[in-house]
Amino acid sequence: MLAKVLWLPLLILYAVRQLFYGIAATPAAVGRSPVGLYHKAAVWRDWVLAKVDYLQGESDKWRRTFNTLKAPYSILRGLGLSPQMAIGLLAVGSTAATGAVAVEAMKPPSFAAGDPGVYNAPLDSPVFSSKEFNTLRMDLGSTPIGLVMIEDVTLGTAYADSTLPVGETDVVIVGGKPTVADPAFAETYLEVGHMTVDRWRCTTLTLTNIEANKLIVRGNASDGQSISATAGTPRDRAISGGNRADDMLTSGGFYDQLKITAASTGVNGKIDRLILSNLYTKGGGCVLDRIKAGTLEIILNEIGAGDGFVTKDFQIETSVVYKSFENDDNVEINIAPPS
């Protein structure tokens, strides 16, 4: 008991000393806390920036990779190959080990595959093609076709290294041919049961020398328009012909020009159902000329060269004759030329 009494002053002195040490150390601890917080934030910051630098480096590597892969395509286009042929050759080179694509590429060109060339319906293979000829052309004769559908294509100078054929000023030409083009050539028409022209992007769109039992012009926007069709008595029509040619369908592709004409002297071309949808064109006009149709639809197209409303970029001339006419929601707005 006596020992505990003797140690009590020392214990009290120790407690007091520890209290003063704590008081003295408090300002230093408070001063060091922002420094510690800063060091912790700096570690987190450096970690984040290291990840950003890594991702930036990877992005640069992928960009260089894609540019390297794109180089062979540019070289092939520079050698005069069409976009379809260039892509096909690159596909063969990238998967030649399997042999499947190589076999596919060795097949002759065809309309269904979207290969450019001159096609005489009902043949799916072109009667003429070459690497310098990048026009999709159909020459129609006496054989009727049930369905022709061309959709989702880019035409004219709307893609790199493209140009219109020599002597041509129009990107899309659909219809017959006049006698005056060649004194030995008798005028022809394209006869169609039902024709649809929709979602075209053209600098100009001109309709002339057309007979349509039912003419539908709806939802077109143009940088100036002149719709001057005249009433008449064109008959309704459909194209029969018994054993007609197989349907001709193609989707996608890049061409210098699209031409569908009745090319045999004095022989009208015949298509029961003609669908031309989502054509993006640049570098020339779009022309529908010398067509006889049961129903002709011109819907949801954008036409304009950015030259104001005075110049009528969308024209339906007085030589377009109809029996019934639906003219609805066609507007004039400022439309710049295709980019």
32 part of a folded domain: yes
| pLDDT at residue 103, as a whole number | 43
Which of 30, 63, 78 lies at the terminal end of a domain, its last residue? 78
| pLDDT at residue 54, as a whole number | 75
| pLDDT at residue 67, as a whole number | 57
88 and 150 co-located in one domain? no
87 and 74 co-located in one domain? no
pTM exceeds 0.75 for this model: no
Which of 78, 97, 132 lies at the terminal end of a domain, its last residue? 78
Count of domains forming the chain: 3
89 and 127 co-located in one domain? no
290 and 226 co-located in one domain? yes
Q: What is the arithmetic mean of pLDDT over 4-16?
A: 58
39 and 158 co-located in one domain? no
| pLDDT at residue 337, as a whole number | 87
Calculate what percentage of the chain has a pLDDT beyond 90.
51
Distance CA(242)–CA(27), nearest Å, equals 104
pLDDT of 281 above 50: yes
96 and 156 co-located in one domain? no
275 part of a folded domain: yes
Nearest to 152 by CA among 338, 277, 275, 255: 277
68 and 97 co-located in one domain? no
337 part of a folded domain: no
Confidence of residue 97 (pLDDT cuts 50, 70, 90): very low
More confident residue, 97 or 124: 124
Listed in order, strand segments (DSSP E) in the chain are 117-120, 135-140, 145-156, 170-175, 190-198, 201-202, 205-218, 221-222, 225-227, 230-231, 248-251, 254-255, 257-262, 269-282, 285-299, 302-303, 314-316, 320-328, 331-332
- Domain span holding position 92: 82-108
213 and 300 co-located in one domain? yes
309 and 225 co-located in one domain? yes
Comparing 103-107, 115-119, 135-139, 153-157, the range with the smallest average pLDDT is 103-107
71 and 99 co-located in one domain? no
59 part of a folded domain: yes
299 and 201 co-located in one domain? yes
43 part of a folded domain: yes
pLDDT in tens, 245-277: 778 999 999 999 999 999 999 999 999 999 999
| pLDDT at residue 99, as a whole number | 41
pLDDT of 88 above 50: yes
141 and 36 co-located in one domain? no
